[in-house]
Chains A and B, each alone.
Chain A
Amino acid sequence: GESVGLHLPTLSVQEGDNSIINCAYSNSASDYFIWYKQESGKGPQFIIDIRSNMDKRQGQRVTVLLNKTVKHLSLQIAATQPGDSAVYFCAESGYSTLTFGKGTMLLVSP
């Protein structure tokens, strides 16, 4: 597999389960957050974003929750599928740059 997966925290789930991936961010002034998915051998792909004036945002099978009090972000994936297996990164935005977390590997078993 892609070397980016080494040394990462890993979440292993069964197909059909719900998955929750967590992320702590560092800058209390950050006002925009993004979740990316990276499959082996590919570049990161945008999944969902949220602004700091929101606590929750839903997409197709995914939900992002933002807790500004404890600077915590989570990504919930409903009915996880084998195609969801990947590394997931959160990112927090400054004005023109993003700072990425180190990522979590999600492994989905059939």
Chain B
Amino acid sequence: DAGITQSPRHKVTETGTPVTLRCHQTENHRYMYWYRQDPGHGLRLIHYSYGVKDTDKGEVSDGYSVSRSKTEDFLLTLESATSSQTSVYFCAISEAIAGDYNEQFFGPGTRLTVL
């Protein structure tokens, strides 16, 4: 978890409310990722960023948006939270090097419960 923090670590919210999760890194890595982790599904990519203001969708992007205005911060927003978005959310960072090699380092996670 060194160099990556997530906030909040736990959140309980109600259906229909907006929620923003924050990922902060001190490693100056170019790539940042948001995953969700659910029983039976493993880690699934929501969105990722390959630079400031450069983002792309992952496997399960519906209902989520992201923003990256600074290298160190990557925000995940649930515009109108639903119970199906109850999950554990992980941020990851990576510094892509020459070729396709892409080791990612993960944050400690945020447990989100939508009632």
Contacts and interface: CB of A to CB of B under 8 A. Distances in A.
Chains A and B are bound partners: yes
Interface of A: 3-7, 31-32, 34, 36, 41-46, 49, 51, 89, 93-103
Contacts of B33: 97
Interface of B: 1, 31, 33, 37, 39-45, 48, 50, 58, 88, 90, 92, 94, 96, 99-109
11 contacts: A31-B100, A42-B109, A46-B104, A49-B103, A51-B101, A95-B100, A96-B31, A97-B33, A97-B48, A98-B104, A102-B42
B105 A46 contact: yes
A100 B100 contact: no
Q: Which of A4, A31, A49, A99 has the most CB of B within 10 A?
A: A4
B40 A32 contact: no
Nearest to B94: A96
A43 B37 CA distance: 10
Contacts of B99: 31-32
Given A89-B43, A97-B33, 13 more contacts: A4-B39, A5-B39, A7-B40, A32-B101, A42-B108, A43-B90, A43-B107, A45-B106, A46-B105, A96-B96, A97-B58, A97-B102, A100-B42
A100 B106 CA distance: 13
Contact of A43 (B31, B41, B100, B108): B108
Contacts of B31: 96
Given A31-B100, A43-B1, A101 B108 contact: no
B57 to A, nearest CB: 11
